[in-house]
Amino acid sequence: MNIVIVDDNAVNLMLMAALARSATGLEPVRFDDPIAGLEWCKKNGADLIVVDFMMPRMDGHQFIEGVRATPNLADVPVVMVTATGQSAVRRKALEIGATDFLTKPVDSTEIKLRLRNLLQLRNVQNLLRDRAAHLADEVRKATEVIVLRERDLIVRLSRAAEFRDPETGGHIQRMAYYAASIARHLGEPESYADALLTAAPMHDVGKLGTPDHILLKKGRLDAVELVEMHRHAEIGGRILADTESPLLRLACEIAETHHEKFDGSGYPRGLKGHEIPLGGRIVAVADVFDALNSKRPYKIAWTMEDSRAYVEQHSGSHFDPRCVEAFVRGWDDVVAIRARFPN
């Protein structure tokens, strides 16, 4: 711990240092120049500062103001030494952050007791701060473990859906990265884009409940089969519902709403406009775009340009116009993602 004593009088400086040493067992750092003392404290920190009021170039008030304006010194105990009768000086010192006072002529026993008590107080402050920092670090580590487990769960459920659906391939990865790109170009926080990257692959988890004869059918579905296929959005929402995990809540809203349309003609609930959660609106663009330029048993792959044109043509009907605009602004990202994750 650092005790700093600042006094332009050499005799007083020596006396105060001896008293501090006797009271605490520590060797004080001494300065006869307040400016040099303040700069040292700013650079090295301090646990207790004793400063005289009457000094050239910088008085005790100015010194205390400099100390309190420095973040790492804001709560350091500061004792100001004043002459008897300087009540106005002491009041101002209290206003600007002095912790205690010593009055000249000094009482050696009183000084040692006050310095010892203030240093013990500082030690307790340091222990509490270190304890709080330790607890915060432990909470951070525990939270990271929980998030990793959530991500692991999402990845495994996404794989389960992928194994049931032979059409997925690189679709899940591309669609998730497209969604994250759209979020960024909407101006959403990076944390949200990162969460989308993790949660979006769960968009079709409801296909775990789709019968094989429909899910694996080669060719287009008839009207009855289409109704059954559409149930995967509702099933996905039910699989992921009732969770306290923010990531799984996001995955739930995506699974349930990525087939809703901006004009209200989508499914399963016929939501319209901003009734559709943002995650669902973003993934709708990413999912349809990638499905269009991917080969399927019942269709050839569209070109990237034709797929983009379709998305732009259906802005305001199928898709949220803002999400379409963000998708187009991030076109370079889209091209790079498509190249990174081929079929």
Are 119 and 47 in contact by the 8 Å Cβ rule? The answer is yes
Tell me what pLDDT residue 219 has. 78
The CATH topology of domain 3-133 is Rossmann fold (3.40.50)
Q: How far apart are CA 103 and CA 86, in angstroms?
A: 9
Q: How far apart are CA 257 and CA 199, in angstroms?
A: 13
The conformation of residue 269, written as its DSSP 8-state character, comes to S
Whether residue 77 is preceded by a cis peptide bond, meaning omega within 30 degrees of 0, is: no
Enter the tokens of residue 176.
């998730």
Residue pLDDT, tens place only, 263-320: 999 999 999 999 999 999 999 999 999 999 988 766 788 999 999 999 999 999 999 9
Could you tell me if residue 28 is left (phi over 0), alpha (psi between -120 and 50 degrees) or otherwise beta? beta
29 DSSP β-pair partners: 4
Count of H-run helices and E-run strands, the chain: 14, 5
DSSP 73-123: GTT--EEEEEETT-HHHHHHHHHHT--EEEEESP-HHHHHHHHHHHHHHHH
**Average pLDDT of 14-29?**
91
Are 269 and 277 in contact by the 8 Å Cβ rule? The answer is no
CATH architecture of 167-340: Orthogonal Bundle (1.10)
Determine the 3-state secondary structure of 49 from DSSP.
Answer: strand
Q: How far apart are CA 2 and CA 48, in angstroms?
A: 7
Residue pLDDT, tens place only, 245-256: 888 899 999 999
**Average pLDDT of 119-137?**
83
How open is the CA angle 13-14-16, to the nearest 5 degrees? Answer: 65
Residue pLDDT, tens place only, 65-107: 999 999 989 889 999 998 867 788 888 988 999 998 888 887 8
Tell me what pLDDT residue 185 has. 98
Q: How far apart are CA 128 and CA 134, in angstroms?
A: 10
Residue pLDDT, tens place only, 46-59: 999 999 998 988 99
3-state SS string for 2-19: CEEEECCCHHHHHHHHHH
Neighbours of 300 (CB within 10 A): 9
Residue pLDDT, tens place only, 179-191: 999 999 999 999 9
What residue spans in the chain does CATH classification 1.10.3210.10 cover? 167-340
Q: How far apart are CA 171 and CA 168, in angstroms?
A: 5
Enter the tokens of residue 216.
């694996």
pLDDT at 114 > cutoff 80? yes
At position 256, the amino acid (one-letter code) is E
Q: In the predicted model, what is the mean pLDDT of the chain?
A: 89
**Crossing angle for the helix pair 87-96 and 60-68, to the nearest 10 degrees:** 10
Residue pLDDT, tens place only, 138-176: 888 887 787 777 777 777 777 677 666 655 557 888 999
pLDDT band at 342 (very low <50, low <70, confident <90, very high): confident
**Average pLDDT of 199-222?**
86
Tell me what pLDDT residue 162 has. 67
What residue spans in the chain does CATH classification 3.40.50.2300 cover? 3-133
Enter the tokens of residue 307.
């797929």
pLDDT at 334 > cutoff 70? yes
More confident residue, 330 or 244: 330
At position 322, the amino acid (one-letter code) is R
Q: How far apart are CA 324 and CA 315, in angstroms?
A: 6
Q: Using the Cα atoms of residue 258, residue 261, residue 264 and residue 266 in order, give the sign of their dihedral.
A: negative
